[in-house]
């Protein structure tokens, strides 16, 4: 998911993101996005199942903070 106004990319990571080759690919992509002025927020899928409201609130707060700082 991407929020243009906040320049924030949200990625939900499952178990396979812990594998070395997947983690390395993620790190390269995150660095490329950062160089474009886009921050990546990675969320563990288990956290969404455990407390989706808290995760949604956290994403909202982060996006709001970024929108205020990007202006």
Query: What per-residue confidence (pLDDT) applies to 71?
Result: 60
- Distance between CA atoms of residues 9 and 39, nearest Å: 6
Q: What is the CA radius of gyration of the chain?
A: 13
Answer positive or negative: Cα dihedral of 61, 30, 11, 3. Answer: positive
Query: What per-residue confidence (pLDDT) applies to 18?
Result: 57
56-66 pLDDT, tens per residue? 999 999 999 99
pLDDT tens, per residue, the chain with 71 residues = 999 999 999 999 886 655 577 788 989 999 999 999 999 999 999 999 999 999 999 999 999 999 998 76
Q: What is the pTM of this model?
A: 0.80
């Amino acid at each position: 998911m991407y929020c243009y106004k906040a320049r924030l990319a949200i990625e939900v990571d499952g178990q396979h993101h812990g594998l070395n080759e997947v983690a390395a690919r993620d790190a390269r992509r995150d660095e490329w996005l950062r160089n474009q002025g886009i921050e990546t927020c990675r969320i563990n899928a288990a956290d969404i199942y455990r407390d989706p409201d808290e995760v949604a609130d956290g994403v909202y707060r982060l996006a709001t903070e970024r929108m205020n700082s990007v202006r």
